[in-house]
Amino acid sequence: MSEIKLRSSDIKAALKEMNSAAEALETSYPSDIASRNQMDIVNRMNEINASMQQALETYKKLLLSNVDSTMKSTEWLEHVDAEVARAIKYR
């Protein structure tokens, strides 16, 4: 039978790195390029910047949520593995 080896220390290290990168992700865009300029292109750029900022903030939240879920899954797998090992040992 094949064995699946859970290398949780590698997973946790990668998740920690991903979490740091996600936290450092700069999501702010200029909210007003030229407040006194009434050109249509400037208004459109302001709208695009606001949309991009919202998209980046959503991406950052999703990424951090995925990192957290993966960390919890890894910890759960470690727990289950330990329980199975204990059950086999005391058989």
Query: Rounded to whole angstroms, how far apart are CA atoms 10 and 23?
Result: 20
| pLDDT one-digit tens code per residue, 13-51 | 999 999 999 999 888 877 766 666 667 887 888 889 999
Residue 83's pLDDT is 92
Torsion of CA 13, 18, 22, 26, to 10 degrees: 100
Are residues 82 and 67 in contact, defined by beta-carbon separation less than 8 angstroms? no
| 84/15 Cα distance (integer angstroms) | 25
CB atoms within 10 A of CB 80: 11
Give the global pTM: 0.65
